[in-house]
Structure 1
Amino acid sequence: MSRTMVILCLAAALPALLPGAARGAEQKIGFRQLSIITPGAVQQGTTSEVKVHSNFTLDGTHTVLFNRPGLSMKLLETKPIEAPRQGRGRVGTPFRFEVIAPAEQPRGVYEVRMATKTAVSSVTHLLVTDAPVVEEQSGENGTPETAQQVSVPVCLAGRTERSEDVDYVRFAGVTGQELTCEIFAQRLTEAIHSMQSGNKVYLMDPLLTLMTADGRIIAQNDNKIGADSLITCTLPEDGDYLLEIRDTRYAGNVKYSWCVEITDQPRVASVFPFAVQAGTQTTVAVNGQALGGTETAVITAADDATTGLTEFPIETARGLAGPASVLVSEHPQVLSTGENLSPEAAMPVELPAGINGRFAESQQAHYFSIACEKGRTYRFEVVASRLNLPLDGLLEVYDAEGKLLTEMDDGLQTRDPRLYFKAPADGTYLLALRDLHDRGGEGFQYHLQAEPSGPDFEVHGEYYYAQLAPGTRMMWFARIVRLNGYTGPVTISVENLPEGVSCQPVTIPPGLTHCSLVLEAAAGAPIGASLARTVGTATIEDPAGETRTIKREGRVTCELQTQGGGQVRWPISTQIVGVTEPLDLLEVTAEPAAITLKPGEKQTLKVRIRRNKGFTEPVLLDMTFTYFSAKLGEQLPPGVTVAKESKLRLAGKVLEGTIVLEADAKKATPVENWPVAALVRVPITFSITTNYASNPISLTVLKAE
Structure 2
Amino acid sequence: MTLRRLLCILPTLVAPAFGQVPTTDRILVHDFAPGKTATLTASGKELKEVLHLWTPFGTIPYKAAEKPNPAVAVFTGPIGADVTPGVYETRVITKGGISTRRFLVLDDLPTVVAADAAESVPSKTLFSGPGCLNGYVNALKPKYYGIALKKGQAISIEVYARRLNSALDPIIQLATADGRELGFADDTPGLAGDCQLRVVAPEDGTYTLQLRDVQYSGGGAHYFHLRVGGFPLVQAAYPRRTSNGSIQLLSDSSDAITTSTKAAPGHLIVPVSHHVEGGSGLALSSAAAGVPQLEAEPNNSREQATTIPGGKSSIAGRFQTPADIDWFKVTATEPYHLCVTTHSRDVGSPADIVLELWDAAGKKLQESDDSGTNDAQLSFGLPAAGDYFIGVRELSSQFGAAWTYDLDVERGRIELGTAADTVSVPKGGTVTVPVAIKRLGASDVVTITVEGLPAGISSTPVIVPANQKTAHVSLHAAADAADMWNQRIRLTATSARGSQPVLYSPPPPKAPTNTLARLQTGVFCRGTSAAAYSLSASAYEVAIAKGAEAKIKLTAVRTGDWKQPIDIASAVAAAELPAGITVAAAKMEKDEIEVTIKADDKAVPGTWTLSLQGTLKKDKTTIVRPVPTITLRVNAP
Q: TM-score, normalised to structure 1's length?
A: 0.71
Match of 2:169 among 205, 220, 231: 205
Match of 2:474 among 509, 514, 518: 518
Kindly provide the amino acid, as one letter, of the partner of residue 105 in structure 1.
Answer: V
Give the corresponding residue for 2:393.
Answer: 434
Kindly provide the amino acid, as one letter, of the partner of residue 260 in structure 1.
Answer: L
Q: Is the CA contact 1:491–1:507 (under 8 Å) kept in the aligned structure 2?
A: yes
- Structure 2 segments unaligned to the other structure (5+ residues): 545-550, 598-602
Measured after TM superposition, the shift of residue 211 of structure 1 is 2.5
Give the corresponding residue for 1:529.
Answer: 486
Aligned to 1:57, the other structure's residue is in SS state coil
After TM superposition, the structure 1 = structure 2 runs for residues 158-197 of structure 1, keeping only pairs within 5 Å, are 158-161=135-138, 163-189=139-165
Q: Is the CA contact 1:15–1:690 (under 8 Å) kept in the aligned structure 2?
A: no
Separation in 2, partners of 1:218, 1:536: 53
Instruction: After superposition, give the CA deviation of every residue in 1:345-397 in whole Å (9 maximum; x if it has no partner).
Output: 54555556655543333222223343233412334344443453332221111
Give the corresponding residue for 2:86.
Answer: 108
Give the corresponding residue for 1:588.
Answer: 534
Q: 1:182 to 1:244 in 2, by over 3 A?
A: same
Q: 1:146 to 1:618 in 2, by over 3 A?
A: farther
Measured after TM superposition, the shift of residue 157 of structure 1 is 0.8
Deviates more, 1:215-224 or 1:638-647: 638-647
- Structure 1 segments unaligned to the other structure (5+ residues): 18-28, 84-92, 191-202, 541-548, 597-602, 625-632, 648-654, 664-668, 701-705
Verify: 1:477 aligned to 2:477, yes or no. no
Separation in 1, partners of 2:575, 2:30: 47
Kindly provide the amino acid, as one letter, of the partner of residue 207 in structure 2.
Answer: Y
Measured after TM superposition, the shift of residue 301 of structure 1 is 9.4
Q: 1:288 to 1:136 in 2, by over 3 A?
A: farther
Aligned to 1:255, the other structure's residue is in SS state coil
Kindly provide the amino acid, as one letter, of the partner of residue 54 in structure 2.
Answer: L
Give the corresponding residue for 1:389.
Answer: 349
Kindly provide the amino acid, as one letter, of the partner of residue 534 in structure 2.
Answer: V
Give the corresponding residue for 2:422.
Answer: 465
Kindly provide the amino acid, as one letter, of the partner of residue 497 in structure 1.
Answer: L
Give the corresponding residue for 1:222.
Answer: 186
Kindly provide the amino acid, as one letter, of the partner of residue 414 in structure 2.
Answer: F
Measured after TM superposition, the shift of residue 259 of structure 1 is 1.0
Aligned to 1:42, the other structure's residue is in SS state coil
Verify: 1:495 aligned to 2:442, yes or no. no
Q: How many residues align?
A: 604
Measured after TM superposition, the shift of residue 95 of structure 1 is 0.9
Kindly provide the amino acid, as one letter, of the partner of residue 398 in structure 1.
Answer: W
Measured after TM superposition, the shift of residue 277 of structure 1 is 8.6
Q: Is the CA contact 1:58–1:116 (under 8 Å) kept in the aligned structure 2?
A: yes
Deviates more, 1:222-231 or 1:5-14: 5-14
Measured after TM superposition, the shift of residue 184 of structure 1 is 1.6
After TM superposition, the structure 1 = structure 2 runs for residues 315-354 of structure 1, keeping only pairs within 5 Å, are 322=282, 325=285, 330=290, 333-337=293-297, 339-351=298-310
Identity among equivalent pairs (%): 21
Measured after TM superposition, the shift of residue 645 of structure 1 is 12
Kindly provide the amino acid, as one letter, of the partner of residue 468 in structure 2.
Answer: L
Measured after TM superposition, the shift of residue 438 of structure 1 is 1.1
Kindly provide the amino acid, as one letter, of the partner of residue 183 in structure 1.
Answer: V
Deviates more, 1:327-336 or 1:495-504: 327-336
Q: 1:491 to 1:40 in 2, by over 3 A?
A: farther
Q: 1:229 to 1:177 in 2, by over 3 A?
A: same
Separation in 1, partners of 2:425, 2:336: 46
Q: 1:103 to 1:75 in 2, by over 3 A?
A: same
Q: TM-score, normalised to structure 2's length?
A: 0.78
Kindly provide the amino acid, as one letter, of the partner of residue 370 in structure 2.
Answer: D
Separation in 2, partners of 1:589, 1:354: 45
Aligned to 2:98, the other structure's residue is in SS state coil
Measured after TM superposition, the shift of residue 313 of structure 1 is 4.9
Aligned to 1:474, the other structure's residue is in SS state strand
Deviates more, 1:401-410 or 1:568-577: 568-577
Aligned to 2:163, the other structure's residue is in SS state helix
Flag the structure with more relative contact order, 1 or 2, with Cα contacts below 8 A and sequence separation at least 6. Answer: 1
Verify: 1:261 aligned to 2:207, yes or no. no
Instruction: After superposition, give the CA deviation of every residue in 1:59-96 in whole Å (9 maximum; x if it has no partner).
Output: 151x5432x33x4401111568463xxxxxxxxx1111
Q: Is the CA contact 2:448–2:492 (under 8 Å) kept in the aligned structure 1?
A: yes
Aligned to 2:164, the other structure's residue is in SS state helix
Measured after TM superposition, the shift of residue 8 of structure 1 is 4.1
Q: 1:174 to 1:421 in 2, by over 3 A?
A: farther
Q: 1:679 to 1:109 in 2, by over 3 A?
A: farther
Aligned to 1:39, the other structure's residue is in SS state strand
After TM superposition, the structure 1 = structure 2 runs for residues 71-110 of structure 1, keeping only pairs within 5 Å, are 71-77=58-64, 81=68, 83=70, 93-110=71-88
Kindly provide the amino acid, as one letter, of the partner of residue 84 in structure 2.
Answer: P
Give the corresponding residue for 1:599.
Answer: none
Q: 1:573 to 1:682 in 2, by over 3 A?
A: farther
Separation in 1, partners of 2:240, 2:517: 26
Separation in 1, partners of 2:617, 2:80: 42
Measured after TM superposition, the shift of residue 620 of structure 1 is 12
Aligned to 1:134, the other structure's residue is in SS state coil
Q: Is the CA contact 1:210–1:219 (under 8 Å) kept in the aligned structure 2?
A: yes
Give the corresponding residue for 1:380.
Answer: 340
Q: Is the CA contact 1:369–1:428 (under 8 Å) kept in the aligned structure 2?
A: yes
Kindly provide the amino acid, as one letter, of the partner of residue 462 in structure 2.
Answer: V
Aligned to 1:187, the other structure's residue is in SS state helix
Q: 1:365 to 1:644 in 2, by over 3 A?
A: same
Measured after TM superposition, the shift of residue 551 of structure 1 is 1.8
Q: Is the CA contact 1:276–1:329 (under 8 Å) kept in the aligned structure 2?
A: yes
Q: Is the CA contact 2:7–2:418 (under 8 Å) kept in the aligned structure 1?
A: no
Q: 1:466 to 1:332 in 2, by over 3 A?
A: closer
Q: 1:374 to 1:32 in 2, by over 3 A?
A: same
Measured after TM superposition, the shift of residue 45 of structure 1 is 1.9
Separation in 1, partners of 2:594, 2:162: 46
Q: Is the CA contact 1:496–1:533 (under 8 Å) kept in the aligned structure 2?
A: yes
Verify: 1:554 aligned to 2:491, yes or no. no
After TM superposition, the structure 1 = structure 2 runs for residues 101-180 of structure 1, keeping only pairs within 5 Å, are 101-136=79-114, 139-146=116-123, 148-161=125-138, 163-180=139-156
Give the corresponding residue for 1:42.
Answer: 32
Measured after TM superposition, the shift of residue 226 of structure 1 is 0.8
Q: 1:237 to 1:126 in 2, by over 3 A?
A: same
Separation in 2, partners of 1:327, 1:503: 26
Q: 1:284 to 1:44 in 2, by over 3 A?
A: closer
After TM superposition, the structure 1 = structure 2 runs for residues 589-604 of structure 1, keeping only pairs within 5 Å, are 589=535
Match of 1:249 among 215, 218, 239: 215
